[in-house]
Structures are given as structure tokens and as C-alpha cells.
Structure 1
Amino acid sequence: MSASESLIQVLYVGDDSGDSNKTGDTLERADSRLEVETATSVTEGLDRLASEDIDSIVSGYDLSGQNGIEFLETVREEYLELPFILYTDKGSEEVASAAISAGATEYFRKDTETEQHAKVANCIRNAVGEYRARRAEESSERQLPRVYERITDGFFAVNSDWEYTYVNEEGSDLVDRSKADLLGTTVWDAFPELVGTPFEEALRTAMEAKTQTSTQEYYPAYERWYDVTIYPATDGVSIYFRDVTDRKERERRFQLERNRFRALFENLGEPVVEVVFDDETPRIKRVNDAFVDAFGIGEDHYGESLDAAIVPDGDETAAQINGQAKAGNQVEREVYRGSTDVHPYLFRSAPFIGPENRQRGHGIYIDISERKQQEQELERQNERLEQFTNMVTHDLRNPLNVAQGRLELLHDESENEHLDAIARAHERMEALISDLLTLAHEGQEASDLESVKLAMVAEDCWQTVATAEATLNIDSEQSVRADRSRLRQLLENLIRNAVEHSGEETTVTVSDLEDGFYVADDGPGIPEDDRERVFNPGYSTTGDGTGFGLMIVQDICKAHGWEVTVTENEGGGARFDITGTEFADC
């Protein structure tokens, strides 16, 4: 049995149980969909009505406690629309009129004919059908506001006169207008700025053509973007809308960034390729002009394997790079690539996830051919330098050692005044050789760094440098991060330079600066015009100086990332400032 043919619960109220049962049976035989329960008094009938789900009441006129009209009036106090049929064998036109006036659904006189029972049954069925339909509609109307308030969209109901008949809370918030302000007001009075906009066109199309319309537009009055869908209704339109300003702003920024990236992609001076991974194979999606120039690979190769296009035979780096890039990892390594001529490149990958959640990536190829040539040339120079230092060590020092040994023998055998001059020349040669060897190895970056107490290293240097009657003044509490042996070499050269140029009784000061330290003396100082030249190779103002000491100081500073400058000491003399140091705890 369908929902429309479901059983109808009927309550028959009479004054006699036998008569009630008989009437109930008669009605059930007249229509099998009726299920009749009986009550023999008004009190029992009201109790049944309160406790059971009754679809219709059929009542006699003469009842226990009240007559049928009075019972009807009692029922109508609480059940305004419940079908109520007065079915009695007693009555008159006056009774019938009173029953209808009191709210009876219908009035029937009893008789013995089957046709009359069928009329009553048919009346019950029709009345209950209408009653159920009204209840369903009322229930739906009660439910709709709750539905409208739960949805995340704004919702307006507008009648055919363009008046707002319903506004949900979200809709009120989205337009910053209260429900009371909108209800009963026309769309055009509430929002005159809509006139002449795509919103007006969509509203009028939905209202007049009775068709669904949608639009997404900017509303200048509110400086917001709205996504609006309008559905035709029985008496007007239903409007669903949402604020999409944030989404549009994200889309705008995304498009802007996309355009910027596309411009960068196209105009970048280095070769760039975008690939999409097909299993383990990177396939060419697009390339920039620099890539076409470098590899001769353009649009006619889109969709082809990148490896097949530019990876030399036997190269094993491609598979490793592909595995890392497909896993979403950034890669940077040197590779050799080319479609015809193979060149060295620094390859950098930038993986990303594309449409359909497929792994993609950008590959940037920086030609390092020139750098590789420079590295090879530097390697050759280093080899020649190594040969030179070996030559200095063995081919120059060995004869010098022989000459010094023979000179000592001559000293034992003779008192010739020229022997001291020869000894000084030998010492100068030894100093030159030492400085040259130092310079040959000074180009390397300082790597063996540790925390070094500046005062202790300065004190040690003073003990090993020939200082005659000079005085050392140490005013330092700092420790610096440095290569200990190279820092000592720096201080030895500065102390030796101070003593040699300032006299045997000079005072040498080692003290702290805010971002480093300095070595100063109280001698004649260095003329301002000469201060930039003191670090040049061979610069010396003494006859027996090598001219490499301060150059070595500058190289040691560069190896540490420091800076050395020369200035005038307070009270006279030269001061060498070493700045950019990193202080450390011992």
C-alpha cells in the first residue's frame, strides 16, 4: 500500500456501544482504508484524541455529557483543522446549520442505505487527504526557516513585487543590513546600486523567464565580489549568494604570480625546462628561448623524453636526478648535457605538483664551461706553484745552507770585515725564501678555526721575534676564532714590522677594538700617501726588508674573512686595525 493509500485512523463517538460498533463496522466495510475505533462518551472520546494519532472524528448528536455540537466546539478549541463529521439519525436543518457554523467538516443523516455509508467514507477519505496535505505543508514551512538558517550561503526570498519576504542570518550579515530593514522592502529600494548591473539582469531573467540564472560579479557599493544563484519560485525568486572576495583575491594573486613566473621563465637568461613525469620518465612540457638556444630543443619536442633529448649515452646521473625530483626533492649538482655538443652545467631542480596531482618540475641549467676552464687553469697554476715551492725548498735552500756552512768555517779561520756583510746577505736570502714559501701557501681559506686568546698568542710572538730593547704592551681580554698558527704569523709580522721601522726602543701595543683588535707602535708612523701601498709586494722602507711581511698579513686576514687597514696611532706612530673578527669564549 502506497503512502497515499495508508490507513486512516477514525474515532467514532456515539451514545451506545452497540450502535457505535455497528457504525464503525459499516464504515470499515464501505472503505477498507478506514480503521475505526469507538468511544461511548465525550470524556472517552477526548481521552482517545489526546493519546492516539487520530486522522478524523465521526460523531453522533446525542452523546453522554454533551451533544454533538458541543463536542465539536470542545474539539475545535485545540484541534482547529482535524476533520470532524457529524453523522446522526436525529437532527434537522437547524442542527446541520449549527454544525457547519461550529466548524464541522460535513453533516450526514444516518439511513440504512449502503450508498449513504459510502458517501460518509468518501468524505472522510477526502477530508483526511486534505488535512494531511495541509499538515505536511505546514511542517515543511516550519522546517524551511531552520534549513535556511543552517546553510552557509546568504538566502533571500523575494515575491513577484520584488519585496523581501525572507532573509536568513547569513544573508543579513553579508550585506550588513538587518532583517527588519529588508523585509517588506523592494530589492530596488534596498539596493538601488543594483540597477544597470549584471545582478539586475540575472534577477529579472529569473523572475520573468522563470529560469535559473547565475552570476559572479564585483559590487562596487560594497567593494566585494559576490557569487549569486537565483531560482524561480511560485511567487517570485529565491536568491542564494556568498561573498567570494577572498577567493577572487587569491585567484588574482595566483594569476599575478603565474604571470610573473611565466615572464621569469621566458626571460631568464639560463636554459629552463618544465617536465611532467610519466612513470620514471621526465617528459618535456615547455622550454624557454635560452633552452632552445643551448640545446636546439623546442616546441616540436614537447611530450618527448628529456633524457633522450639531452643526456649523453652512458650518463648515470639522469636516473639519480629523476628519482630525487619525482620524489619532490630539490636537486643541485654538476652534469654534462647536450643534444649535439656536450657542455658542463650546474643543474638545479624545482619540483612541484601539477594538475591531476602529477609530479612536475622545472630544471635550470647554468653553463659552467668557463668556470670549469678557470678551475683547470687554476689547477695547472697550482701545479706550477707546487713545482716552484719544491724548487725553492731544495734548489735554493740547499746551496744557501752550503754557503752558510762555509761562511762559518771562514769565520773560524779569518777576521775579514766582509764576512759579516756576507752573513747578513745570507740572512736576507733566508728571509726572502721563507716569505716566498709563506705567500705560496697563503691563498687558502682558513679552515682550522678555534678559540684563541689574543694576549697569549701576542706574548708567544714577542718571545720569538727579535725585539732588541722594545717594549710590549698588551691590553686585550678577547678571544677570537682563528687558525692559531696563521694568527701567530700575522702578529709576528706586525710586531717585527713595528720594531724594524720604529727603532729598538719602541713600544708595541696589542689591544682590542669593538669588532677586532689592533697592533700599534710609537715610532714615526706611515705617511698617509703610502698607507695604501704598504701591502703591495716588495714594499719596504728599510734596506734589508723583504717587502712581503705586510702582504702576508693582508693575505692571512683575507683567509679569515677579516679586513686590515693602517692608520695613525694616538700620540704618533702606525696602527694596524684588524676588523671583522668573530669573538669567542676560551
Structure 2
Amino acid sequence: MSSQGDEISVLHVDDDPDLGDLVAVHLERISDDISVCTERSAADGLDRLSERAFDCVVSDHDMPTMDGLEFLKIVREEYGELPFILFTGKGNEGIASDAISAGVTEYLQKGVGTDQYTVLANRIERAVGERRAKTALEESERMLSTLISNLPGMVYRARNEPDWPMQFVSDGAAELVGYSSAALESGEVSWGTLIKESETERLWKTVQTCIDAGEPFEVTYRVETADGEDRWMWERGRVVDTDDDGVELLEGFITDVTAREERERELADQRAFTEKLIDSVDDVFYVVGPDGSLVRWNDTVPSVTGYTDTELASMGVDDLIADDDREKLWQVFEETIETGYGTVEAGVEAADGETLQYEFRGTRIDDERGDLYGIAGIGRDITDRKRRERALREYRTLVENVGDPMYVLDTGGRIEMVNEAMAVHLGYDRSEIVGSDPARFMPESDVEAATEHIRDVLADDERTWAVFEMRTVSADGTVRVNEDRVAPLFDGDGNFDGTVGVLRDTTERKQRERELERYETIIEAVGDPVYTLDDEGVFTYVNEAAERLTGFEPDALVGEHISTIMTGGDIDRGSELIRAMLSDPSRRNATFETDIVDQSGDNTPIEIHIALLPAPDGEFNGTAGVIRDISDRKQRERQLAEFASVVSHDLRNPLNVVKGRISVAQASGDVSHLDAAASAADRMDDLINDLLTLARQGETVGETATVDLAALAGQAWADVETGEATLEKRGTATVEADAARLRTVFENLFRNSVEHGDTSSRTGADGSMDHGPPAGDAAPITVSVGTTDDGFYVADDGAGIPPAERQNVFERGYTTSDTGTGFGLAIVIEVAQAHGWSVSVTESDAGGARFEFTTSPVS
């Protein structure tokens, strides 16, 4: 009969034991869900209620000590709305009224027959059912209220209109957006006004699309809270009803997901960063699925393999790995899946057919459920390393098979490795040699010499090895003299890591090599360019000195034709000489002058000494030559010719005067002609002195020192006949110079100003100015020496030098004076140029001559 399906426990209280038992039997028979506990008094019933819970109480009214109504009142006080049925044989309106007033659930009067028990059972089930339903509803409401109050957001009911007017808002609104539920429900604040304007249109379209499809909607959007902060909201809702106006009513839940959005954006940024980082890695990065498919790769993979991303997307590892390495690769692949990590070396076949050697290091990766996702790893190009390893094996093979003894010493100088040839050379097993001190097998002095040579090499960045003679003593006492070529070893960080050496017997071959080295050393030490040409005129050797003359590095000339640095006509002349030497067995060398064309296209006069290269078969095998720059010689020859011309011209005139005057004096007896002859002789003496001074100046200076210009000018002034002229020193400075030669400069300039600078004179040169004797009323000359920003000057207040003649005054022999030598100012410019200075002539502030020297720097 029970529709609840749950057991109903009933406490039955009746002082009649027979009736109590009868009620229990009938109720439990009528309903399988009802179980009855019977007590004989109200007091016992209260004790039983305190011990266990019952779903319903059935009580008689007339009972001793405590009747049913008193029992009911106590139950209501202590057990609230526990269903209570008054089942009494004594019934009247007064009892019923009192029972109802006391809060009885049901009032049932006992009757005759068994039907009354069916009614009682129904009343019990109905009362308990209602009680349970009410309790469940209250609990549901309580739980819902608790849930809503604890939700991190708000529950709402709203009209489906653009401003989303709220009909109900839970208490979470204040914490969510800073506005109270009442403010949102009253319309004081519209939810739609909180939504960011940029989100409004998208949000409305999304919600309406879901409503039209009859589906719930989920949206994420931004709102502005009461304090002006932007927050991200996540909302889920659906249509639940329609109001009288036909507007859909929406119910849903809104919560703050700002932190989640920020995390997602942060994760997105991190993923983007990771992607960029992976793509920036020079090594190959890959993710391979369990079936060998390419799941992920970085930008290095296309650049290395030559395949496009589209092509790679349809490829697997088998398409990239060389055939010979696939079986090995898959074996390691399976091991990596089992152990979590694996390494394998394999060839990668690029799109152009090239095979690259790679080392792959992979790690098993699982998905979020813990299932195998694939293998991720790095592939590193070891093609160069493989080449080095192969080269190392080859070197080891060479070391073991070469006939020369070889050894390696550690940083402490003990023998770390020897090859078989060394063991044979010394007459010991390798095991007896390795770990020993070298002094066991050679004199201590030779060991010290080797150590010193290594120190020298380490101290010289230009050297990588050294060669010296070393004696070895074999196991049988035999002493051998060897050439030991030693070199330092360095680790990956460039630190000294030991020594390697190669021994060679001192044989005829060694003697030839030493002889050749001596020749090579001589050639490099010659200082002049040395070369060899093959029979086609192509350079086969050029020493380093050639670069200074031609501008070409030796390596750049080797393999090039002689026409690279010589014109066709000069080549033809050289060819003629070679043919002449080939036709005359007694003539093995020749010399001729020509020009060489350097890398910039400039010509330089040279002298070439050529010789035929020896040829075992007697055929022409090419030539060797030494080139000498004769620019200076040619310049000196030109200067000598010029010098001789000047000397022959300028000395001849006064010599003719001397001869002519003496002849006239001898013939006429007039000794007055001897004065003219003496004057001409004095001029010859002056000319010879200037020529000697000019010849001694040369083009270089002697030892230089820091010279005080003002002090040196004062000394020079004292050595010149200056008459009434005065010297002014305007400021002072120091200059790096050859003091003696600079003093000559000052003396010549002072002499030029004093002798030729008075204002009544005629402008000339050294010459420079050709004047007669100073006029009686002419003011004495003032000569000044001063400094400029980049040098110094010597000036006077005389008549000066006309602009048209200033370019000529420094020429040798230039003079407009009958008594000047024309070499004074030539000496000045020679000394200036020898110091690397420049000198120019201009007008002084007083209108005289000013000679400016640019020496920069001066101090």
C-alpha cells in the first residue's frame, strides 16, 4: 500500500497490551513498509523517542499518569512537526478540538472491525509522506539557497531584451560587479549598461542565435564594475518561460572568469613564445606520433631537409631517414617508448638527395590522460663531427702506420701515448714507455731543450711548432740523433693540454730539407721580392716581400700569369733574355730594367735578376727571379743629372770670371782685376758650401728629439751675420726633430731675410730676393719666429716675395741674384720634407715674406 518505497517506523503507545499488539499486527500486515514499536505508557514512549528516530507516533488518549494530549504537547515541544496521530476509543468534539489546538496530525477514533486499521495505515502513510515531502522540499530549498549563496557569481532571471532587465538577481551580484541585487532588480542599474560597448553586438547575436535554435547559450564578455574596473564574465543561460507580453524569460548563472581569461591569454602568450623559441632553435625539433607520423616540427626542419611544410605534413620518419638506418631507428623508437628516453644516430635524406648525419635525442610524451602521445626531441647535425671522427680514425691509422716515431706528453711532461714506430725505435713495449718520464729515454739536457722550445712557441702567437735535434737511447744502449718536431696541444677552451712530437732520423733527406729551409729562410730574409715562374710564365712561388711592391698577397699571385704585374712589351723583353740564355749553355742568368704595375695600376721602376730553374731532363722548366725597386736609384740619378747640370752651369760662370780677370791682370799688370777675381772666387766658395750642405741633407733625418723652437731659433740667429736686424720670438712650442738640421733651416731663412729683405730691395730668391746694399735710410729688418695651430713660421717685415714667384723659390739653383747660389731655400724644403713636414710661402702681416711649416702635431 505504501507508495513511498521506504520503511516507515511507527511508535504506538497504548496502555492496553492486547490492543497494542493487535494494532501492530494489523499495520505490519496491511503495509510491508510499516514497522511498529509498541510502548504501554506515554513516559515509555518519550524514552523510546529519545533513543531512536521514528517517522510517526500513534497514541491512545486515555492513559494513566499522562494522557495522549499531554504526550502530544511534549512531542511538539521536543520533536517539532513529527507526525502524531491520536487513535482513541473515547472521542468527542472537545478532545478533537484540544488535539487540533495542540498540533495533532490526524485524529482517528477507534471502531469495531479491521477496516479501521486500514484507515490508520493510510493516515500514517499520508502523514509521513507529507512530512517527508515537506522536509525534502525544505532541504532542497535550503541546499539551493546555500548553493546560490556560495556560488562565485550570481543567479538571475531576466527579460530577453537588449538591456537585459533583471527580474531576480542573487546576492552574489554585489561581489561580482559592485552593484546590489536590489539595484539590478529595480532597474536602477541595467545589466546591459555594464557590458562593454565593444561586446554588446557580438553578445546579442550569440544569445539570439542560441535561443532561436532552442539551445542554452554560453558567452564570455567584458563588463565595467562599479569601481570602473574591467572584468571578464562567463554566462550560461536558457529560455525558461514567456511573459504576458510574449517576451522570453531567461534564467542563468554569471561568474567572474577574469583570472581564467588572463591565464588563458598568458598561456597563449607562453605558447606563442614557446613556438617562436622552438622555431629559433638551430637544431631540428620534432614530435613524432606512435605510428611514425610527423606531428610537429620547427622551422629548421624545412631549411635542413629542403621540404616544404605542406610536404612534411604528409610524410613520416621513414620518408626522411636513410634506408640503412631505418631498422636501427625503429628499434630505438620502441626502446624510447618503453624507457622514456633514447638516442640514435641516423642519416637524413634531404630533398636534393644529400644525406646529412644527425643525432636524435627523444623523450616519450603522454597526453593529459596519461596515454602515449608520441616522442619529442632534438636532432643535431653531426655531419661535421662524423667527418672529424673519420678524420681522427684516419689520423690514428696514419699515426700507427707511419714510419716516424710519434709521442704525446701530458701537461706534467710524462709520456701519455706513443705509436708502434716509437716503441720499435726505443726497443721497449708500449706499456713500458707510457707513463714514464722522457728522461728515461733521452738525455736530460734534450728534455729541457724540448721544454724550452714549447715555452717559446706558447709565448709567440705566430708560432705553432718548433724543431730541434734530440738524441734517444734505445733499450740496447744505441744512441740516435733525431730531428724532433714538437707542438703544444690545446683543449676546447684554448688551454695548454700537453705536447706532441714527431721524431725523424737525421738522414740525407733531412740534410736536404735543412738545406732547403736555409734557402727559404734566405729568400724571405732577402727583403726583395723573389719569385718563380713555370714554363708558361705563371707564378709558382712568391715571397712575402712581393706584397710591399705589388700590393698583391703572395697567395693571390701564385697561379696568376706574369702579365698581372707586367706589361706586354716588358714581358717580350724578358722572353728574349730567356731565349738567349737557353741558346747559350754558359749563360744561366741575366739582368734587365723594366716597370712593374701594382694592384692600384701604378708603375714602379724595377731591376730584375732572372735565372733558369734547373731541369733534370734539360728542358725549359721556368725561371726564378729577384726584383729590386730602383725608384730611389732612378730618383737619385735624375737628381744627380739635375745637380750636375746646375753645378756645371753655376760654377762655370764664376770660374770664367776668375780666369778672365787673372788673364787681364797678367796681361795689363792692372791688379784691380784681382779684386773681381777674388769676389768670383768667394761666390764659388759660397756655392760649393751650399751644394755640400744640400748633398748632406739627403731625404732622411738622423736621431730626433724634442726641440724647443724658440731656443733653437735663438742659437741659429747667433750664428748668422745679422747686422742691425732683430729677432722676435712670438710664443714657443716643442717639436720632434733633428736639431742640427732644423738649425740649418733657421740659419738659411734668417740669412735670406737679412741679406735680401730690406724694403728698398727687389724681390728675388735665395736667392729669393735680390737686393743691393741696404739704403742708408732703410729701417733694419725684423725677423719673427712663432707658432701656429699645426706648426711654426719664420717671417720678416721686408719687401716680401711676389705671388708669381712663390712656387719657384724652393727650386734648386733658382735665383735672380748675381751673387746668390739658389740653393738656400732648396735646403730648407729638403730638410722639411725629410721630417715629413710641409712648407709654404705667403705674405707676412707686415708685408714681408712668411714661411709656414706644418709639422702637426706640436706641443
Q: Indicate the structure (1 or 2) with the bigger Cα radius of gyration.
A: 2
**Structure 2-normalised TM-score?**
0.35
**Structure 1-normalised TM-score?**
0.48
Per chain length, whose mean CA-contact separation is higher, i.e. which structure has more relative contact order (CA < 8 Å, sep 6+)?
1
